[in-house]
Structure 1
Amino acid sequence: MDILIRRVKPTEYDALGEITAQAYLKDGLLDFGESDWYLGELKDVAKRAAAADVLVAIQGEQLLGGVTFVPAGGPMADIARPSEAEIRMLAVAHEARGRGAGEALVRACVDRARATDGCARVVLSTQRTMHSAHRIYERLGFVRVPERDWNPLPELPDITLLTYELTL
């Protein structure tokens, strides 16, 4: 059965928030200070959907995961510069992994970026341990740009997010 990518519906906000939060928790990605705050951000799909494009992967009736696509200059951007779109909060439910949902979501973001006037690149941040996501990004042509790595929590110098970019 094919995977459908579309905008999230308000009736799916809670389910996608839980999938996103559980994906980060089960992968051990919130083992740093402020994790309670970031967990709340991961769960708040309504807030993201009001400021960016939140996309979901659906197979049949099952919600597999989602991603936040931030067009150039969007308020949800962390690292995007002018003429860049940003991908944030990619998450796939553990029981749905290995079906291609993550790759389909990233491809949909790249397609949206290509359709955005003046967008020349797509950028994203990822943690060092997100190896499955790194493989998706690299398979789709994203490259590491270490000079853009950054720390979202300067008080915790061990937290460095890796940056990838794709030139369109």
Structure 2
Amino acid sequence: MNPQILIRPAVPADYDAVARITRDAYLGAGHFEDADHPYMQQIQQVARRHEAATIWVAERAGQVVGSVTLAVAGEPYADIAQPDELEFRMLVVDPAVQRSGAGKALVEAIVEYARTLPGITGVALTTGVTWESAHGLYRKTGFRRTPERDWFVPDTDIKLLVYRLDL
């Protein structure tokens, strides 16, 4: 793990940074044309998300530079998790500091955490079709594509690709 990056649970003081980074990352990747799209509005409601899910942040030099949401099957933010999987969603890194190791540090922390959970034998995630940097990160960290599990975000035409890492 990158020693300059601290992975920790989000706190209310982080919500604005998490919302901004999530918005900037999704818009920067071209998933949406503007922040007014209903799904974009939903993912920027960090306090509401945090009430129902675990959110971690990546912090460097006191600044939040990334975040991720974790869930297991049956929880509100688990879209594709099978009963033996930890799912992570909305892993984002501030576009201003991408390729700085924050994404890799988050993924490594997620995998380490998943190994401590009883009954969890894998980590699963979804990512956008065109997020090539994300695809590279997941392949480099041992995830494999499971195309038979790909799915569409409800009420959109956005297809998400599924990856899984066996623990």
TM-score of the aligned structures, taking structure 2 as reference length = 0.91
1:26 Cα deviation from its structure 2 partner: 1.6
Contact 1:71-1:116 within 8 A present in 2 as well: no
Q: Aligned partners of 1:59 and 1:90: how far apart in 2?
A: 16
Q: Distance in 1 between matches of 2:67 and 2:74?
A: 21
Code of the aligned partner of 2:77: M
Moved over 3 A (4+): 153-156
Question: Which stretch shows the higher mean deviation, 139-148 or 45-54?
Answer: 45-54
- CA offset at residue 108 of structure 1? 1.3
Q: Which residue of 1 aligns with 2:166?
A: 167
| Percent of pairs with identical residues | 45
**1:153, distance to aligned residue in structure 2 (A):** 3.7
Structure with bigger strand share is 2
Instruction: State the one-letter code of the partner of 1:18.
Output: R
Can you give the 5+ residue segments of structure 2 that lack an aligned partner in the other structure?
A: none
Aligned length: 165
Per-residue CA deviation, residues 9-41 of structure 1 (Å, 9 max, x unaligned), is: 101111111110111012111259xx7111112
Q: Which AA in structure 1 matches 2:88?
A: I
| Amino acid across the alignment from 1:164 | Y
Using the size of structure 1 for normalisation, the TM-score is: 0.91
In structure 1, C-alpha distance between the alignment counterparts of 2:160 and 2:73, rounded to whole Å: 20
Q: What does the per-residue CA deviation read over 1:35-62, in whole Å, with 9 as the maximum and x for residues that have no partner?
A: 7111112211112211221010111111
> C-alpha offsets along residues 110-154 of structure 1, whole Å, 9 cap, x if unaligned?
112111110111111111111111111111110000111111246
Structural RMSD (CA): 1.9
Partner residue in 2 for 1:25: 27
Equivalent position amino acid for 2:7 in 1 = I
1:68-100 superposed Cα distances (whole Å, 9 cap, x missing partner): 111343221001111111010011111111110
d(CA) in 2 for partners of 1:9, 1:154: 30
Matched, 1:52 2:89: no
Task: Say whether the 8 Å CA contact 2:72–2:83 is kept in structure 1.
Answer: no
